[in-house]
């Protein structure tokens, strides 16, 4: 059905070698014949067979993204990833690469699946998300010498791989600064449990800013929970019932904020009036919630594109001729002030 390079060669009465060279833009082919080959390719609706090409060239022309459902909540996932994936895939497609998505089984933290991808060599590289502070996936990949990039930082693996992250530390500090400027001194922080790295970064920024303002850090105002609605709902009361009730809460996540606000509502506390609320990673939910939640907005799609570029530049087979590889970028989080603080 699909026409092969042999069909083209037969049709034009030339050898398959010449056809291949013409198609691949090699120098040693006559301009005229190249023209004819390209026309015939269009006419016969030719497109190269990926398996043949992959086999010969030894690369699969695809990148694997390890996607995970919410830990602690199989029912729904992270809308966060969709726009990121859009950017990632768009940029990869420009270079003729496909995006393979591998879902992590809840529980095993992807090690098993990752191993399978690497060993069967189904992808040329891997993109990891939700990096942990110490991430065994990163250790495994560096040890195996398999190319990868990460959305999010980690302390594992040194600085040998491209990574792109948001500046959670600054966002945490900015949130505190803003709240302090508005008169708050008792500020709580809700972040994800597990050792998701951005939870640490956020908390570091929060702590440092508090100290800078001469406010001592009260462990009773910090709580960890699952990074979803249930987690926020479950954990927020713990902080609200502290002896000296906080006047402001910073949530690491919109889903946790939603759960937290639910808990408040049940306790008769009105977010935005009785207590200030700020969310670190803004989503449309924040904008349309009542009260509209102040948050920090990431630019997800450009981040996807950028990480794809960084990854591509680190792969010998796809690297252009440009200079030094950019291995590490941290993007700002833009504050969107609304009604909740």
Binding residues for DNA (CB under 7 A): 4-6, 13-18, 20-21, 23-24, 28-33, 46, 48-49, 51-53, 55-58
Which string of x and - marks every residue 159-178 that binds a copy of itself (by CB under 8 A)? --------------------
What are the backbone angles phi and psi of residue 67, rounded to the nearest 5°?
Answer: -100, 145
By a kind-dependent CB cut-off of 5 to 8 A, residue 60 interacts, out of DNA, a copy of itself, none, with: a copy of itself
Among 14, 16, 21, 73, binds a copy of itself (CB under 8 A): 73
By a kind-dependent CB cut-off of 5 to 8 A, residue 120 interacts, out of a copy of itself, DNA, none, with: a copy of itself
Nearer to a copy of itself, 86 or 247 (CB): 86
Nearer to a copy of itself, 55 or 241 (CB): 55
By a kind-dependent CB cut-off of 5 to 8 A, residue 313 interacts, out of DNA, a copy of itself, none, with: none
Virtual CA dihedral for 85, 86, 89, 90, nearest 10 degrees?
Answer: -160
Shortest distance, position 276 Cβ to a copy of itself, whole Å: 17
Which string of x and - marks every residue 35-54 that binds a copy of itself (by CB under 8 A)? ----------x-xxxxxx-x
**Residues in 229-248 that interact with a copy of itself by CB under 8 A:** 229-230, 232-233
By a kind-dependent CB cut-off of 5 to 8 A, residue 267 interacts, out of a copy of itself, DNA, none, with: none
Shortest distance, position 120 Cβ to DNA, whole Å: 9
What is the CA 325 to chain-centroid distance, rounded?
20
Among 62, 95, 142, 193, binds a copy of itself (CB under 8 A): 62
Q: Which residues bind a copy of itself (CB under 8 A)?
A: 2, 45, 47-52, 54-55, 60, 62, 65, 67, 69, 73-83, 85-86, 89-90, 93, 98-103, 105, 113, 119-122, 228-230, 232-233, 255, 258-259, 261-262, 265, 283-285, 287-290, 292, 300-301
């Amino acid at each position: 059905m699909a026409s092969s390079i042999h069909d083209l060669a037969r049709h034009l009465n030339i050898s398959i070698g010449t056809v291949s060279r013409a198609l691949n833009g090699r120098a040693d082919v006559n301009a005229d014949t190249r023209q004819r080959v390209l026309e015939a390719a269009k006419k016969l609706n030719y497109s190269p067979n990926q398996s043949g090409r992959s086999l010969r060239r030894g690369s699969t022309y695809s990148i694997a993204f390890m996607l995970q459902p919410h830990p602690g909540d199989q029912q729904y996932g992270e809308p966060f990833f969709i726009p990121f994936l859009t950017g990632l895939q768009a940029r990869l497609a420009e270079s003729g690469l496909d995006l393979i998505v591998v879902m992590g089984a809840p529980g095993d933290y992807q090690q098993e699946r990752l191993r399978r991808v690497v060993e069967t060599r189904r992808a040329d590289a891997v993109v990891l998300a939700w990096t942990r502070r110490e991430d065994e996936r990163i250790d495994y990949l560096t040890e195996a010498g398999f190319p990868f990039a990460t959305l999010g930082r980690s302390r594992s693996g040194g600085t040998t791989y491209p990574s792109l992250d948001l500046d959670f530390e600054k966002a945490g500090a900015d949130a505190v600064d803003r709240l302090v400027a508005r008169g708050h001194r008792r500020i709580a922080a809700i972040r994800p449990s597990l050792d998701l790295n951005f939870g640490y970064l956020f908390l570091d920024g929060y702590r440092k800013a508090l100290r800078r303002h001469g406010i001592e850090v009260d462990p009773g105002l910090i709580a960890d929970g699952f990074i979803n609605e249930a987690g926020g709902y479950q954990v927020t009361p713990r902080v609200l019932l502290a002896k000296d009730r906080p006047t402001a809460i910073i949530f690491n996540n919109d889903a946790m904020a939603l759960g937290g606000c639910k808990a408040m509502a049940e306790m008769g506390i009105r977010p935005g009036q009785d207590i200030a609320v700020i969310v670190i990673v803004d989503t449309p939910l924040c904008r349309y919630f009542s009260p509209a939640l102040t948050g920090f907005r990431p630019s997800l799609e450009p981040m996807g594109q950028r990480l794809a570029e960084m990854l591509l530049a680190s792969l010998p087979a796809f690297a252009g001729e440009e200079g030094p590889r950019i291995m590490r970028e941290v993007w700002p989080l833009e504050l969107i002030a609304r009604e909740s603080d």
